[in-house]
């Protein structure tokens, strides 16, 4: 089955939804998402969106904080672009019906109520625009409502992309070969309900598939975060960069019945203190900012404390704050913790680090363009240069909003230069000679082995020896997957396994290449930062396949 559209958007988080709404004014949009439209990292984002609105704040301060967090690898031009465009994107969300918290002290001034601003680690001022502690859900819900009402956007839920289709694509049992001057013309997509591969033909394709958290055993991410966009772009010949910089959130809830539940950065921003099992604060040993240090510092501090003590978790304590304040500021967190028998107003919360955010991704320019023509990437899938070696808290959603805006402008310009014959005849998906998989244990076993291997050897603290072990194991798994992949019909589980294996291999390659410690990449054999040799991006590109 072939589906033709002007714009193909792969992913339904804030980046993909906002881009779709903007370009739908100029053409037809096909929006595909591999589960339901609400199943994205955005929906799970608690803390908020960093943007300058406070009277004591400034663009220069936000830029300075972002550069400091990025540890020497941020693109200063991109940082300035995102920070200075941030307030307009927040106002745009308000116009679309997003209800952010308002400072109650300003309610008497009905003409200009002020946004209630929180503060998080690494920020020198209060600048976190939020909707209670469910900001992502509020933003996602508002955007989904607009998308569903837009007659120019066709939604394809439960559709998972397999591979991009480029101009030089030649099919032989699904094998894609590319040149380095490719034009993207869409993607092969599996309809999970019908178990049918569809050919989506598009003039412009956008990757907004989110992050890579499921590559690791412990993650704050939902099950959909399997690095699909990064893996597909790399296989198609696009450049990827800085994949060694995986952000581990310091505070995920530690409980046997809790899955992927994040304790927001904002808890520390509102006065939460990290303590050990004896009730003793420990962050003062690691950073002058103590509990408001950047995430990489806090995650390594917790990892060190756990290794020294042998304990299963540390604790985040905000019970010293007024209980009514805590309940009102963190209603979702309070209720969720209570469901596990933890009253955060009266006792500390057990927490551990978990894989949270990928700072690297598909390399793009200032407009979200990749080095494959007519292919864009935005959101966590992309490496824009904003985050550098470590993302500043709550800079992710503002980056997604700003780049959705910038990418839509450029994509529409590109679209208007194309004629109706700009998409060549595309070959259908070829599964000749394949059969239905009869060894599904291969998928589940390798899925588990990859995630454990990455957690144990390519986690918060790394070494050359650990990375070499990981590389050998992932190479063996990749060989098994390739043998299996070309013999059997594709399934969603197999597609995701193939993608996390690809992303795992790329993370390992990038980590092995960087012989220093910087930001989120910490190698015990190179414990210092080396600006003379390594103040540069780690860039990977798939070798040409003829």
User: Which residues belong to the active site?
Assistant: 295
Contact (Cβ atoms closer than 8 angstroms) between residue 254 and residue 350: yes
What burial class does residue 392 get, using C-beta atoms within 10 Å of its C-beta: 0-12 exposed, 13-18 middle, 19+ buried?
buried
Helices (H), 310-439: 323-329, 331-339, 395-416
What 3-state class would DSSP assign to 447? helix
28-43 burial, b for 16+ CB within 10 Å, e for fewer? bbbbbbbbebebbbbb
Q: Cα–Cα distance between 92 and 175 in angstroms, integer?
A: 43
Contact (Cβ atoms closer than 8 angstroms) between residue 82 and residue 53: no
Q: Which distant-in-sequence residues (6+ apart) come within 8 Å of 129 by Cβ?
A: 48, 49, 50, 51, 53, 90, 100, 115, 117, 135
Helices (H), 96-227: 135-149
Q: Cα–Cα distance between 362 and 229 in angstroms, integer?
A: 8
What 3-state class would DSSP assign to 396? helix
- Residue 487's CB: how many other CB atoms inside 10 A? 14
- Residue 49's CB: how many other CB atoms inside 10 A? 28
Pairing between strand 196-207 and 375-377? parallel
Q: Cα–Cα distance between 367 and 269 in angstroms, integer?
A: 32
Give first-to-last CA distance, the chain, whole Å.
Answer: 28
Pairing between strand 314-317 and 349-358? antiparallel
Q: Quick one: tokens of 161?
A: 């992309």
CA angle 523, 524, 525 (to 5 degrees): 90
Q: Cα–Cα distance between 173 and 143 in angstroms, integer?
A: 39
Bridge partner list, 297: none
Q: Which of 48, 103, 68, 90 is nearest to 264 (CA)?
A: 48
Q: Quick one: tokens of 132?
A: 């209670």
- Residue 256's CB: how many other CB atoms inside 10 A? 6
Axis crossing angle, helix 440-457 with helix 492-513, rounded to the nearest 10: 30
Q: Cα–Cα distance between 474 and 482 in angstroms, integer?
A: 12
Distances (CA, A) of 455 to 219, 449, 451, 467, 507: 10, 10, 6, 11, 12
Pairing between strand 128-129 and 117-118? antiparallel
Bridge partner list, 204: 7
Determine the longest span between alpha carbons in the chain, in angstroms.
71
């Amino acid at each position: 089955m072939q589906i033709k559209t002007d714009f193909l958007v792969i992913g339904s988080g804030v980046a993909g939804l906002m881009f779709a709404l903007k370009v739908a004014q100029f053409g037809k949009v096909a929006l595909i998402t591999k589960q339901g439209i609400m199943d994205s990292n955005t929906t799970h984002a608690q803390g908020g969106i960093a943007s300058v609105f406070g009277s004591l704040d400034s663009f220069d301060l936000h830029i300075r904080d972002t550069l400091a967090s990025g540890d020497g690898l941020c693109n200063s031009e991109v940082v300035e672009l995102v920070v200075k465009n941030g307030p307009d994107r927040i106002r745009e969300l308000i116009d679309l019906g997003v209800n952010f918290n308002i400072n109650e002290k300003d309610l008497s001034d009905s003409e200009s109520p002020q946004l209630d601003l929180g503060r998080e680690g690494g920020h020198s001022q209060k600048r976190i625009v939020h909707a209670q502690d469910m900001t992502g859900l509020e933003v996602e819900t508002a955007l989904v409502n607009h998308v569903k009402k837009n007659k120019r956007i066709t939604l394809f839920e439960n559709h998972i992309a397999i591979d991009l289709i480029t101009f030089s694509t030649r099919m032989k049992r699904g094998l894609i070969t590319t040149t380095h001057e490719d034009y993207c013309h869409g993607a092969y997509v599996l309809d999970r309900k019908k178990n049918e591969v569809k050919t989506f033909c598009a003039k412009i394709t956008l990757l907004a598939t989110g992050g890579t958290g499921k590559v690791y055993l412990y993650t704050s991410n939902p099950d959909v975060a399997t690095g699909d966009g990064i893996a597909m772009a790399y296989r198609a010949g696009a450049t990827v960069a800085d994949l060694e910089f995986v952000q581990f959130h310091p505070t995920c809830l530690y409980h046997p019945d809790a899955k992927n539940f994040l304790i927001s950065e904002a808890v520390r921003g509102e006065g939460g203190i990290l303590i050990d099992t004896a009730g003793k604060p420990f962050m003062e040993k690691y950073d002058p900012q103590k509990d408001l240090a950047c995430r990489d510092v806090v995650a390594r501090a917790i990892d060190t404390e756990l290794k020294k003590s042998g304990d299963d978790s540390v604790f985040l304590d905000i019970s010293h704050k007024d209980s009514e304040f805590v309940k009102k500021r963190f209603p979702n967190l309070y209720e969720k913790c209570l469901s596990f028998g933890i009253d955060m107003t009266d006792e500390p919360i057990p927490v551990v680090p978990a894989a949270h955010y990928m700072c690297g991704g598909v390399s793009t320019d200032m407009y979200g363009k990749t080095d494959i023509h007519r292919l864009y990437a935005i959101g966590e899938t992309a490496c824009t240069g904003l985050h550098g070696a470590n993302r500043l808290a709550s800079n992710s959603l503002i980056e997604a909003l700003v780049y959705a805006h910038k990418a839509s402008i450029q994509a529409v310009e590109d679209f208007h230069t194309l004629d109706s014959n700009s998409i060549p005849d595309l070959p259908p998906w070829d599964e000749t000679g394949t059969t239905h998989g009869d060894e599904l244990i291969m998928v589940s076993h390798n899925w588990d082995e990859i995630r454990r291997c990455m957690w144990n050897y390519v986690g918060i603290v790394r070494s050359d020896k650990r990375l070499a072990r990981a590389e050998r194991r992932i190479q063996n798994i990749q060989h098994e997957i390739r043998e299996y992949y070309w013999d059997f019909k594709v399934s969603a589980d197999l597609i995701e396994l193939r993608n996390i294996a690809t992303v795992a291999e790329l993370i390992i390659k990038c980590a092995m290449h960087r012989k220093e410690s910087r930001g989120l990449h910490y190698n015990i054999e190179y414990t210092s930062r080396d600006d003379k040799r390594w103040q540069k991006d780690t860039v990977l590109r798939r070798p040409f396949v003829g």
